[in-house]
Structure 1
């Protein structure tokens, strides 16, 4: 099996490692050539088959080229992981510049649309494919820490997931979304004290710190043949935090207030 995964520090690189460890040949994508090179070097250092392909998924021509180059390099394309995203700046809607809104829409929503648009014909020809969209619990809920642009694009990504699954399921292609919640990326974790990290863990029923590896494991499973009967779903990987009655209030209490109100 072969696939393309958009990487970055944390979730993206973890997904690439999980897919590779399950035997997939992985094309690693990012606009940052250095980040791509580092991830590919790490994967190859573990004896995994990895290929670097830089470019912006939000650009129509570049996204098409990313998919085309991956399929040509490996001879097929079985898995697409749409992970590239930007967080909003928690700016109130009435003060949000259109450029800020558009930049988030371009990367978080148009990017997955363009990548899927390019990948579907290849997967349809194979009668097999797995498209995995990395979303957020902000999609069905709200994100005070990232703003309306982020919440809206993640909700839109889940809508795209559901609709696309109905169009291409007959060709052996599944489309699912992973809704991340409470995942502490390495850079964010490094800025927290041990007490602050544990406080975050205390907000979910399993009392665990959300690590990128949990998203990697879920993505690897959704990419497998064993997940053939699951499509159009948005699966929360959040330690169960969103089912706690007090979670939302705690979330709001810790959100930045300077731009809201």
Structure 2
């Protein structure tokens, strides 16, 4: 009987201690959502991303059940480096600036939204010209919408390194009507690119931190060949519960080539830009 009583007393003490700890954790959970649950699940709570990345820094299956993303607004000061169109069938050859009246400089506005779950992200771009460089005798209509997807091979402590794919929503078109000669309109194949990205965006709740973005795209299919390199750097404010924001400056260089044998269209442009970005 004495042994039974001793066991019952010990069991009561254990239950009392466990109940007190549970009440404290439940109270914490009330003031901080998921606080109680996250104490038992290693990949939940405010340190979920850091926890999973420390264990799976190179794994596609290190899954953090949280969303990340960003919104960007950018002003580009574009400069047309070169542009030519040749038609061997008709024997015509035009320079964008000299023959077709294109402007060397243009001002482009571009917005971008990106949402990310674990290592997978989707992007959407919308662009419009504030100063259109198209000429009086020719017009290059580049699609306003572009969509893309990213896969991060590395996602660790604010450093992202991965692969991406992009395409435009519609087909680009090119048309010209020279002062002498026959007008022509071309619906170009929709460009598809594959590439890589490198991004550094540390999470800091106290200090202003640097942000760096690098992207490179190259043609994935024949027909409309787009090659592009982009580099940007800037500063962002300390992180808060509503996210953070920053300013970046950058440079983008783009080339395009369409060659069917008898017709060839190629041009390139570079642009310096100022960008506002909001991270959430």
Higher strand share: 2
The interval holding the TM-score normalised by the smaller chain is under 0.3
Larger Rg: 2
Q: Normalised by the size of structure 1, how large is the TM-score?
A: 0.25
Q: Which has the higher contact order (CA 8 A, sep 6+)?
A: 1
Higher helix share: 1
